[in-house]
Structures are given as structure tokens and as C-alpha cells.
Structure 1
């Protein structure tokens, strides 16, 4: 049966990331270290080939796509933007630690909306709608693979919503320039709207991990990069 591969890749390190800022809607470009890191990863490891290309319209994602796939002319999907942090955009957790609204937001598991920002339901609806549109376009196009550069929070939301094996959003955290390959089988997608997560990106020495190890690899990467503490989405 024909299947389709979607490669979800997190953008490189942006200037706001280096400062520990919340940069959801903020159009923070890649920092010099982020560019160098992506070039080094690309030199030493393999990014999967694709026939179609999609990206968040924010500069840090478009720049990442240009570095990893210089020949690509990606379709920019507004729905793949990061969460809008409202009044907290450009601020650090340290700067916000005395804000009662920020403390409530943290205690709620980031379910409530930041002041003048986007709540979790609105964010999830937006990114899932964009992803479903992307899948439908891929199924209609005749092409069988797509590379998608977007944000960490977007990827976590999508993988927790559609990914098999099932795992929490936290367990799908990944480092800048890294990601996951999803296999969409039309019958399974139409019936249950799920996609198999079959590999990590980029491909190094272990380029084809067994399917049941992918979540274990994701958990190890999340713990190595973030531990159990909160880190600003980007």
C-alpha cells in the first residue's frame, strides 16, 4: 500500500533562544551560533530527501529551510507559527517570575492564555488544521514525501495529537535542527487520523531505528536537552 513520509524538523537556534526569551510570534532570526550548528549537523549527518517543502513563515524557520534544503521553495503555512505568548513575548522566565498571571499559567501546565496571547486550545486547533491541510495536499499531489520546518511547540503538539506510538507532548521535545519522520498510510489516516513515527532526524550512524525505539530516543533527547524543567517554546 502506498504511504507518504513527512519529515518534521525544528528550526535552528534563534537570537531570542540564546537570551532565554519567549519568542512565539516574535520574528527572531537565527543567531550566528545557530547557523553554524545547522551547517555542522548537515555536514556530518544526513537530512532526508523530500519532494515537497513547507515552513512556518517566521524567519528562523525559513532560514533553516534555506540551509538544510537550499534548492527548496517552501510553501509558507501561517498555521505552523509558534504559540503567541502575548504580553510575555521577548521576556524571560526570570523577568516574569513575579507576575501572578505567569505563575498561574505555569501551574496550569500552560493551558491558560497568556495576557493578550493564545490559549492552548486555540493553538492546538490552529496547528492541527494546518497539518491536516498539509496531509490532504500531499495525498492529492501524487508526491510521496515532504519536509516541514517549524517550531518546537508546534512539533510537540502535532506529535502528541497524531503520532504513533502515543507519547505526551513533553516526550516529543527535540533539539534545534532535529526532528522526526512520520509515515502516513491513507487508510489509517482516513480511519483514525494517526501517523507512525518511524525515525529520528537527522540520520547518523543509526539511520533506521526500530519503530518501537523512536519514543525512547525522543525521551532521551528531551531529558538531555531540557531535563524536567520548563523551557520557553520557540
Structure 2
């Protein structure tokens, strides 16, 4: 297997819970005015990209984001992209949760965390990574290696997927940031994933569409999984 598709991870726009400093979890919180504006703005950046598929968390804030950003899309809902199950932490103010004994564990050793009456962070990471890798393989098989597809999900879910792509332990995933309405791009290859964009909240996304492949002699062509020594020339359109 050679080239594979390109995944765009879109975090939902800002919600009323984000604005109020609460932990929404799987509650049906909606976008606030800022979040709706963010969703509309990221839609302008996504416009014109040939998206082979759009997949979303079932939660309303993700579906609202896509309704504003990609009104012509028909997203497929996948439970594998749902927010982490924070259990009894859901709906609580973050400033209150910061006093809980579990809080420093969430910050420093998240792979050991199981939320009260909720999900283990390691389980969240495993099912999120399995979900996007399965979709990526399917889209590559159906649409070819130049395909671009989008998954709309949540902050911790996206951070866990990025940590996997970088090959870092889940305990380091709190170093990663995924802002509301940000775009993160990953290209999986047989040898390693490449993180193309991280927490991108502005700028042109057209360079993420792979150029048409040119036939070159195999002996002189770097493998698709090879990193560009020296950094490479970047995307050109």
C-alpha cells in the first residue's frame, strides 16, 4: 500500500459551556454566538476542498458546527468520535473540578484516569484512534490516495488522536492544544503518520490537498512513509 488519504480533524465551535468554564462532556450543550461565528468562518476555509467524506460525533455541538461550516454536506455520525465520558464530572465548573483529588492525575497521568461513573481516558483514546484509522483506510480504498476527508469531534478526542500520530504516550497529550473550530491535519502512511497541521485557526487549507501523482522511476522515488530530510519544500499549489 502506498499513499493514503488526508484526515482533517475539526473541533466544534465554542459552546455555552466553554464560555461559562464548565465541562460539557456528553451533555447536549449548543454553540454560543462566538461558536456559530467560528463555525461559519471555518466553513469559508473549507469551501472548495474536495471532501470525500464528512464524519461527526453525534453530539449536537458538532452537528451544529457542520451545519454552519458545510451546509451541503451529509455527515455520517460515528459514536467512536463522541466526547470522553466524564461521568459525574459532566456539567461541573472546571474551577470546582480542579480541587478534586483526580484533577492532578488527569493533568499528569491521564492514562490511569477512569472518571467516576464514566470512561477511562485510555479507552477514549483507543476507540477514537481506531475510529479514524478505520475510516481512513476505507476512504483510501474507495476514493484513492488523493482523497481528503473530515472528522468533527472534541478537544480531548482530537488531542488523543494527535498524540497517537506523534507516537507519544497518552500521559503527554495535555501538551497538545485543540481550540474551538481549529483544524488539525494528519496523513497516515504504512510506516508512520505525518502531522501536517495542528490547531490551525486561520489560513488557506488548499495546500493540504495532495497534488496528482506523477510517474517516476521507483528507484529514485522516496517512499511515501519517508520524512523530508531537511524539512522539504512544503505544499505548493
Please tell me the TM-score bracket, short chain as reference: 0.7 to 0.9
TM-score by length of 2: 0.74
Q: Does residue 204 of structure 1 match 2:203?
A: yes
Partner SS, residue 74 of structure 2 = coil
State the match for 2:151 in structure 1.
Answer: 148
State the match for 2:91 in structure 1.
Answer: 90
CA distance in 2, matches of 1:71, 1:7: 17
- Contact kept in structure 2, 1:165 and 1:196, CA below 8 Å: no
What is the aligned residue count?
205
- Contact kept in structure 2, 1:199 and 1:207, CA below 8 Å: no
TM-score by length of 1: 0.75
CA distance in 1, matches of 2:69, 2:19: 21
Higher gyration radius (CA):
2
| Cα drift, residue 116 of structure 1 | 0.5
| Cα drift, residue 40 of structure 1 | 3.7
RMSD, aligned α-carbons: 3.0
For structure 2, the residue ranges without an aligned partner over 5 or more in a row are 209-227, 233-237
CA distance in 2, matches of 1:14, 1:142: 34
1:22-171 equivalent positions in 2, closer than 5 A: 22-43=23-44, 45-46=45-46, 48-102=49-103, 105-106=106-107, 108-109=109-110, 111-142=112-143, 144-163=147-166, 168-171=172-175
- Contact kept in structure 2, 1:87 and 1:114, CA below 8 Å: yes
Partner SS, residue 25 of structure 1 = coil
CA distance in 2, matches of 1:96, 1:199: 31
Select between 94-103 and 67-76 the one with higher mean Cα deviation. Answer: 94-103
| Cα drift, residue 141 of structure 1 | 1.7
